[in-house]
Structure 1
Amino acid sequence: MALHTDTEIYKATYALCQLVTQLVASMPRNYKADFGADLRRDCMRLVRRVYEANTSDDKAGILQRMRQEVESINLSLRLSVDLRLVSRGQYARAIEITASIGKQASGWQKHAERALDAGLSRQSGQCAIESGRAAAPKGHRQAQQGYRRQQPQ
């Protein structure tokens, strides 16, 4: 398991958080306090979801909620451009990041669901050495061969 801060999805969520914080800072005062604060809070929640998904056994459920939150942020960003709180260029940058996050979360969710279906999810306390992943190439090959034998044809 990689550190959550080393993943591309974490970097994207953090970049979105930074961008939204800058966008909210330039919003008019009457929108900044409630609308902007909610938008920043939603972005911070995405960053925390990456950590949750990386450390949880129920990755698929967390990633599904994360994808829903990305859509909520997209809606807020769209409203902010329609209300002329942010420029179209700023909106385009933000949507590019949210699209990347959504794609990565979808891929990660599909991988987690396939792993769960195949019985590959790690049990609590199982370490990489036990699974053969941290072993030398020979150990890894042996672990892969054992996995292939277990799958029904």
Structure 2
Amino acid sequence: MALFTELDIFVPAYELSTLCAIYTGSMPKNHRSMLGLTLLENCQWSIKCLRLANSARGAERLRHIEDLREAISMIEFSLRQCVDRRLKLITRAQYAAAIKAAGEFGKKATGWKKQTENALVAPSSRR
């Protein structure tokens, strides 16, 4: 088992988390303490789910991957709120960069989920 920081999925996860931290730092204080904090907590939760999924096996891994995908969708929703024309907490360019990283992160999580599901269905060749 590789360290979770060495997995391919960690690259977009780290990029997304870093972008969200940068964007949160430039938010007005009243939004930073609510929306920004939620965004960062979901980023941290996604990294935690990634770590737990890497160390788990079988159905438990699948559960952690589902939690990971939920965290990614919550991050995407928070980013959408941040770019809303009424709030304008981040620019469209910032939103595009973060959504690109979130999309890549989500695709890799979905692929990992499918691979795990297939491994659960297929008979084990190891003895």
Instruction: State TM-score, norm by structure 2.
Output: 0.91
Unaligned runs of 5+ in 1: 121-146, 148-153
Q: How far does the alpha carbon of each residue in 1:74-115 deviate from its partner, in whole angstroms, 9 at most, with x for none?
A: 111001000200000000000000000110000000000110
Q: CA deviation at 1:53?
A: 0.5
Q: CA deviation at 1:29?
A: 0.9
The structure with higher relative contact order (CA 8 Å, sep 6+) is: 2
Query: Counterpart in 1 of 2:55?
Result: 55
Query: Counterpart in 2 of 1:81?
Result: 83
Of structures 1 and 2, the larger Rg is shown by 1
Unaligned runs of 5+ in 2: none
Distance 1:45 1:8 in 2: 18
Query: Counterpart in 1 of 2:108?
Result: 104
- Runs (4 or more) in structure 1 with deviation over 2 Å come to none
Distance 1:110 1:91 in 2: 28
Distance 2:43 2:7 in 1: 17
Alignment length, in residue pairs?
Answer: 123
Which residue identity does 2:83 align to in structure 1? Answer: V
| Cα root mean square deviation, aligned | 1.6
Instruction: State TM-score, norm by structure 1.
Output: 0.76
